[in-house]
Chain A
Amino acid sequence: MPKNESLKKILVLGSGAIKIGEAGEFDYSGSQCLKAIHEDGLNSVLINPNIATIQTDTRFADQVYLLPVNPEYVESIIEKERPDGIMLAYGGQTALNCGVKLDESGILKKYGVNVLGTQIAGIKRTEDRQLFKDSMNECRVPVLKSKTVTNFEDAKKAAEELVYPVIIRVAYTLGGRGGGVAYNEIELHEIVERGLKASLVGQVLVEEYIGHWKQIEYEVMQDYDGNNVIVCNMENVLSMKVHTGDNIVVAPSQTIDNHEYHMLRSAALRATKHVGIVGECNIQYALDPDSDRYVAIEINPRLSRSSALASKATGYPLAYMSAKIGLGYNLSELVNRITKNTTACFEPSLDYVVCKHPRWDFAKFELVNRRLGPTMKSVGEVMAVGRTFEESFQKAIRMLDIGNDGLVLNRVNGKEYTEEEIEYKLSHHDDQILYNVAIALKMGISVERIYKLSTVDPWFIEKIQNIVTLEDRLKKSELDESLLWEAKKLGFADKQIARAKDKTPDEIRALRKKLGVIPSVKQIDTLAAEWPAVTNYLYLTYGGHSNDVIIPKDERGIIVLGAGPYRIGSSVEFDWGTVNMVWGLQENGEKHVSVVNCNPETVSTDYDICTRLYFEELTQERILDITEFENPKGIITCVGGQTANNLTPGLAQHGVNILGTAAHDVDRAEDRSKFSAELDKLHIKQPLWQAFSNLNEAKSFAQQVEFPVIVRPSYVLSGAAMKVVWSQEELKTYIKEATDVSPDHPVVISKFMLNSLEVDVDGISNGKQVVIGAIVEHIDSAGVHSGDAMMVIPPWRLSNKIIETITEYTKKIALTFNVKGPFNLQFLVHDDHVYVIELNIRASRSMPFVSKLVKMNLISLAAKAILDKPLPQIPENKWQKIQNYGIKVPQFSFMQLEGADIALGVEMQSTGEAACFGTSFYDALSKGLISVGYTLPDKGTALVTVGGAQNKEKLVATIAKLKQLGFKILATEHTAEFFEEKIGQIEIVHKISEPERKPNISDLLYERKIDFIINIPSTSTLEKYVDMLDDEYQIRRKSLELGIPVLTTIELADSFVKTLEWLRNNKTTKEPIEPYDKYD
């Protein structure tokens, strides 16, 4: 029993929508925390508006509130629920900051809520820069020379004392947001101004810059009695230069010796004890590569991305253990969850090397700066396990699902560079840095020189040299058994070997199997095989000759493929799908369900979810290896997003039994021509389209249907290489891009219909019955990518007739394509006509949203369908009977992406989403908007700049309402002129590009005299790429950096203003979500 017997009900704060720096890792940590609470028979209450998570299912938590994690909302829930404890360490910086504010405003004290785990004083000692420095000095842990400042003048003085370059760090922020390296005063000014605004407490730290030092991290566990252990240490391959979230990270550390390891270990224990950590924390060091001098950089007094990684890397469930400690348990009372009979108070030993690789999605963003530095820019990550660094590293590259098969021998290999160019590239890190190291080695540049330029430790460069050398040998030598073994031990995929030998991957596979070159299945057991461990946590490697586990002959289970790394367009919702599929299968009597996934930020990679967990690549080669080992009944590819889905045809061709919709039916839906033919038969319309066979045909088609048109490859999710094209010139460029992304599939060009509504339908079918989850309407007009659009259930602009038509089409299509499992249909409604855009026979992004609002777990039903079980009788309008409105709002992370334009288009750009329910449209919307970071002011000033007469016309009512609500309205000349005529007095302000004319937008922004901005780009959001107005971009970018909300679509602006009006007379509701209905 927990030591703290007084606890009955515990409040857990989530991290809200996924953003860069706060991603799915907090679904993992929150879910483990709730699990730990639940196990002890205590009540739990969760606040988190991130609907696509496992934690917001009512499985682990007793009450779930889809509400913004801010002091106001949390207080109202505290008042209502009266918890006696609160957990702040499981919802990222969002939860931590909220907890600090709740404490400062006396709310925790007022309601007698105890902070469980690290106390507020401890949190402050790590978060406040000066307190941190003082604390470290007190416990003899060195820190960097630095100075905390609250204005630019002091920053300048500090920088001069410390000598440039200096690094600016921002207090109370996340993902290193707003920080940067300044080499001179001009850069200092820019970064300091931005940082001061981003900091909750208006302070930044100016610090000596030590970019070439090694970046080493330790994960520490400590209980209330002061017992503490190091669970994992990690080394960043790209030194201190690059934020650890953007770094390639290995665990354990590889290049430090016993003295350094234990020096840092002891310092970590000393520091965490001194600041008073209870539970888990991460401490980050910089270590001089030329001596044993070190400094502590920071302590994160909470679960973090690094701790999620450490959990998966070691098999030690940090979040779970940390929560148990928060409840009062002592470390030595807790049991190692893997061995089940050794203590949790130990330090795992690894007998493999783990490599974490970030996934960036720079291609999605116009104008973005791809440089890696102190600000995190990656949107997700993968973790690979192997027995050599080379194996882990090349596995990690494949796991990223970016079209590369490893470091070398890819389909598209690196460009040629001059020596000067490559030297520049080596010293200016971007997402290609290690590929560039390989190129430099091939060019004959020495390891020492590469090290000097790149600050990548020579040990790693030597490992890359091994890969480069083997590539050469593969090309030149005969492929015998020993060379095959060597290649596989260094992580080469069959595809790479095939490319070197001009053979097919299947030929290489056959040869390997003939020669017995096959991988071994090894356990991750926390103690390097020293004790027996009954663990189901597995990986495959060529660094071994025997398997750790044996699958009984008569045990034939099911394998569910996960979704791989989080990225734009494939995020935590697919992990929700994966986990719910596992549970759904288990609940329908399947005893052996295994999972394959490679994303450390997930719940699906918790090994207590399934029978066997393979932390492995989602590639055809590896899935075949696993199916050959497992001999399963079948494999499920329809819940892991496009990564898993794309494997379907190849696996089916190799004789793997795909459970769910048959591969050829999936193909009928994915292949545009076949799909279109089927729709014709059903007399269902779709926008005019054509598959591209050559550029001239494409051009003439585009002319015939008139620009704009949409260009896309047929097998790609989330608009990768999907573009709206406005001219012949663009068409040429984008077709090339699209064929690069998906070379094996045809490119499709379709008419882009302006001024239409988009509708999504999520459903389940077993081939005989169809269950409609809900009809979901996009609030933004078509053209804004469905992942970036706000969505509402029930639809509020669709007529009953349209809804009937959509329902009828949905049923017809699902049955025609013999769907067995989940599907998603996208419709376009234009002039009262319904067009089908596409059918996705798999779980969709909106399924958690639909499932939770309609109280019907679609994935559970999908599990039944896949197992050929009858579906329960559910009325097709069940979703219409729901009293609530549900609204899903996208979360953007533009702040992290230096230079990125925030205007929306057909490329998806949001990193996450929040959804809230309410008794009215505006009840739900206001909570949704607050959840993704908007402030909803009740008075103040709005700046309006609208391009194009049509847009202006559409906004008249909105601006009039705004004025009526008492907001002061500023506008640029043309906009002001237009609106003044219609609605009266408007103040004129001048463009940023005309700084001499006052009042100027730039000044007003910096002086914080503008509360929000309605900025609708010229004529259409989509034309911006034809002739983007720099001035508008400048306004959007500056406002973003200053934290001023910018509304860039007409629909958003209109909804926003109406929400402000609604809030004048109404209060938002604060009700918990209801559990899913039970179906047998």
Chain B
Amino acid sequence: MVGYAEALTDPSYNGQILTLTYPLVGNYGVPDPSVKDDDGISKFFESDRMQIRGLVVHELSLTASHWNLTMTLDEWLYNEKVPGISGIDTRELTKKLRTSGVMMAALVVSDTEIDVEKIKTELASATHYNSEQFMDVVSTKKEQFFGQGNDSVVVVDTGTKNAIIRNVLELGYKAILVPWDTSYEKIMSYNPKGVVLSSGPGDPQKCSNTIDTAKQLIENNIPTLGICLGAQIIGIAGNTETYKLKYGHRGQNKSCINLENNQVYVTSQNHGYGITPESIAKSDFKLWFTNADDKTVEGIKHKKQNCIAVQFHPEASPGPFDCKFVFDELKHLMEK
């Protein structure tokens, strides 16, 4: 019900047609995309453009009301040239996705009658989501620097959200955003206090360069935090396996248990892949967080090295701030 401005610009959703379970969408409109914070990061969005390929909702609010809006969701979609459809029984669609898993889909708009068979054929021959190469699309092409300060943290951009950078800055470090395939040596040339492997779309196995980098980060005991896709990459680097979830975890209300103190936190999540629970035992990691409902892996800690990773989004935006302390953990590792 809240968070569409953030979700639609989250690079992790790149390449996807997104449906929202809450039936009324666009109520509070869309804020001004040109507004930047003091560090030059977009103030209200998670990247510089809408990342989704299409939007499916039950009711699109054609009027909106909020002190901070500059346009309606409809106008924003139009400006970004992203198609959407409303009037859909999104609950029924959700049930379909729940039972059949996420699937390839076509969103067709036409003044004339739609030839369903033809569309099906086209869809069948389209590039499958699983085999899409997202990194070229979502990752920064060149290094970017944010914030002031003496010490810095390198954020490896596999499709990062602005909120990750904002959180690094809040810790009191400069943030250096580097392309997804930046080598370990190149990263170390910035002399960072630590490294964050960001979230992002798609299968972690497709990021072999980042996996190699992660291996070296661990080996050299560089304080490292992995988030979402970054967590899976770290997992693979430390000998866990990953798999594709049937319909993933997407939402702002996912409960995770911190196994160190048995506290439960509500987290924001958006991932289609995960670390195989059974593979933890023989890996270099111990389990840190687990999903309270389906017991999937939500966080891991390296047994010896300064390396931690969470499957959920501690940076929130959209979603709850309950797990911001994960960034404090990184800081702790960096200052140790």
Q: Which residues of A line the B interface, CB within 8 A?
A: 225-227, 229-230, 252-259, 261-262, 265-266, 269, 289-291, 330-332, 341-343, 345-353, 387-389, 457-459, 462, 520, 522, 527-532, 543-546, 548
Contact = CB atoms under 8 A, between A and B. Distances in A.
A257 B92 contact: no
A520 B89 CA distance: 10
Contacts of A261: 2-3
A290 B293 CA distance: 39
A266 B320 contact: yes
A388 B89 contact: no
Contacts of A546: 89, 92
Given A255-B27, A266-B321, A530-B251, 14 more contacts: A229-B264, A257-B2, A262-B2, A290-B67, A343-B293, A345-B255, A345-B292, A346-B255, A347-B252, A351-B22, A458-B65, A459-B64, A527-B253, A528-B21
Contacts of B274: none
21 contacts: A254-B1, A257-B31, A257-B68, A258-B318, A258-B319, A262-B320, A266-B320, A332-B255, A346-B253, A346-B293, A348-B253, A349-B251, A349-B252, A351-B21, A351-B94, A352-B23, A520-B89, A527-B253, A529-B91, A530-B21, A543-B89
B101 to A, nearest CB: 13
B58 to A, nearest CB: 6
A353 B22 CA distance: 9
A459 B64 CA distance: 6
Contact of B65 (A255, A262, A266): A255
Contacts of B189: none
A258 B292 CA distance: 24
A543 B92 CA distance: 11
Interface in B256-279: 257, 262-264, 266
A543 B23 contact: yes
Which of A254, A350, A548 counts the most chain B CB atoms within 10 A? A254
B157 interface: no
Contacts of B266: 229-230, 346-347
Contacts of B59: 387-388, 543
Contacts of A265: 320
Which of B3, B263, B318 counts the most chain A CB atoms within 10 A? B263
Contact of B23 (A266, A388, A457, A548): A388
A532 B2 CA distance: 23
Contacts of A253: 1-2
A529 B257 contact: no
A772 to B, nearest CB: 51
A544 B253 contact: no
A283 to B, nearest CB: 16
B322 interface: yes
B28 interface: yes
Contacts of B63: 458-459, 462
Contact of A545 (B92, B293, B322): B92
B292 to A, nearest CB: 4
Given A258-B2, A266-B320, A332 B89 contact: no
B5 A258 contact: yes
Given A227-B264, A258-B317, A459 B89 contact: no
Given A258-B2, A258-B5, A258-B6, A351 B253 contact: no
Interface string B1-44: 11101100000000000000111100110010000000000001
CB-based closest 4 A-B pairs: A528-B21, A347-B253, A459-B65, A258-B3
A545 B89 CA distance: 6
Contacts of A352: 23
A544 B65 contact: no
A462 B264 CA distance: 40
Interface string B89-105: 11110110010000000
Contacts of B253: 346-349, 527
B305 interface: no
Given A257-B66, A269-B322, A332 B257 contact: yes
A458 B318 CA distance: 24
Contacts, number: 149
A664 B223 CA distance: 82
Contacts of B257: 332
Given A229-B266, A387-B23, A544-B91, A289 B321 contact: no
A529 B21 contact: yes
Nearest to B29: A257
B24 A332 contact: no
Contact of B263 (A226, A387, A522): A226
Contacts of B2: 253, 256-258, 261-262
Contacts of B92: 544-546
A387 B1 contact: no
B80 to A, nearest CB: 18
A258 to B, nearest CB: 4
A343 B254 CA distance: 10
A265 B255 CA distance: 15
Nearest to A527: B253
Nearest to B261: A225
B316 interface: yes
A459 B21 contact: no
A965 B255 CA distance: 66
A15 to B, nearest CB: 31
A350 B5 contact: no
B242 interface: no
A136 to B, nearest CB: 18
B321 A257 contact: no
Interface in B285-327: 292-293, 316-322
Contact of A388 (B6, B24, B65, B319): B24
Nearest to B257: A332
A185 B318 CA distance: 47
B320 A353 contact: no
Contacts of A457: 65
Given A254-B27, A531-B293, A225 B262 contact: yes
A627 B80 CA distance: 48
Contacts of A527: 253
A406 to B, nearest CB: 19
Contact of A351 (B65, B90, B252, B322): B90
Given A227-B264, A345-B264, A459 B91 contact: no
Nearest to B23: A387
Contacts of B5: 257-258
Given A225-B263, A255-B28, A262 B22 contact: no
